[in-house]
Amino acid sequence: MKDVRNKVAFVTGAASGIGLGMASAFLEAGMKVVLSDVRRDVLEQAAEGLAAHGGRFHLIAVDVTDRSAMASAAAQTQQVFGKLHVLCNNAGVGSRTSIEDAPYEEWDWVLGVNVGGIINGIRSFLPLIRAHGEGGQIVNTASIGGLLPVPPPLGIYSASKFAVRGISDSLRLALAHSGVGVSVLCPGLVRSALAENTAGLSPVAAAGSEEVVAMQSAALAAGMDPLEVGRRVVEGIRRNDAYILTHGEFKQELREVFDEILAAFPDDEGDPVRAQIEQGRRDVVAAMKLALKDRG
């Protein structure tokens, strides 16, 4: 989607941090934006800072885990702006208990928001993007923790973000011939209130939570400006990037992970019947990638 001007975006988790950064960058680029968040009061406060763009944005308070509310939010978006071109499934929370000890409730909550929220976004909003035939983009916020494992207590968080990456890569192929691109955003540290918001929203008590919040908040305070992330997302949408990567400092670590995986493969050619099946699959993927390339 090379020309983003006057295109309409829906952003979840837009009351603060990366979501607000994306919404601000979209408005700056001449887009119209629906900012949505589970925290209505904070969303309204955030909107005060966007007053200069009045008339080009709309607020919807919605919990991404609530399927019927997400469907209503999609209907409201259609009513207000007529069309939707860009969906940013960005709302997310962290995990607070180490993966080996976490109770079911914490697994359910983190996966429910970080993965379930994205599924609900796709189910409710993709039909709107496909309806007008002008093409569009879905941007799913994963994390660098969706490419690299993260130490405790962020194991469940990392698992959820690996899932976001998997959903995004598969959806990109599935939509290759449709004119709707899919990007996965994998940032490193970005300045935000993720640690405090996680603690405030979590339905599950976590041992030692105050120290964890203090430690994570200090790290996040040194993060990238969310508006800068938002501007990179605009570029990623214009180019239909599969991966929107914002932090160059992770390159070597990722290379080591891929080298480790490659080194674990056996050195045989594989069974010829299997090889034929895999070639068939490869051909299908190659045709999808060609369609994506042609789209530019």
Question: Least Å distance between CB 144 and ligand NAI?
Answer: 6
What lies within 8 Å, CB to CB, of 259 at 6+ separation is none
Name which of 147, 138, 148 is nearest 166 in CA terms: 147
- In the complex with ligand NAI, the residue whose CB is nearer, 77 or 90, is 90
Closest approach, Cβ 143 to ligand NAI, in A, equals: 3
Closest of 122, 125, 117, 114 to residue 163, by C-alpha? 114
Contact in structure between 114 and 166 (CB atoms under 8 Å): no
222 CB burial (10 A radius; 0-12, 13-18, 19+): exposed
Q: For the chain, what is the largest distance between any 2 Cα atoms, rounded to a whole number of angstroms? A: 64
Select which of 85, 157, 191, 226 is catalytic.
157
Quote the least distance from Cβ 43 to ligand NAI, whole Å: 8
The residue (of 37 and 241) whose beta carbon lies closer to ligand NAI is: 37
Q: How far is the CB of 84 from ligand NAI (least distance, A)?
A: 17
- For the question of residue 157 being annotated catalytic, the response is yes
Choice between 15 and 33, CB closer to ligand NAI: 15
**Contact residues for ligand NAI (CB under 6 A)?**
12-13, 15-19, 37-39, 63-65, 90-93, 113, 117, 141, 143, 187, 189-190, 192-194, 197, 201, 220, 223
Note whether 118 and 89 are within 8 A (CB): yes
Nearer to ligand NAI, 47 or 292 (CB): 47
Closest of 205, 208, 227 to residue 216, by C-alpha? 208
- CB within 8 Å of 70: residues ≥ 6 apart: 62, 64, 120, 121, 123, 124, 125
Report the nearest approach of ligand NAI to the CB of residue 257 (Å). 17
Q: Which residues, in sequence order, are bridge partners of residue 136?
A: 180
CB 18 within 8 A of CB 192: yes
Nearer to ligand NAI, 137 or 141 (CB): 141
H-helix or E-strand spanning residue 211: helix 209-221
Closest distance between ligand NAI and the C-beta of residue 228, in Å? 12
For residue 194, give every residue at least 6 positions away whose Cβ sits within 8 Å of its Cβ, in sequence order, or none.
17, 92, 93, 94, 216, 220
Q: Six-digit token pair at 263?
A: 């080194």
Q: Which two tokens stand for residue 238?
A: 């214009």
Q: Using the minimum distance from each CB to ligand NAI, give the nearer residue, 24 or 192.
A: 192
Which residues are marked as active site?
A: 157
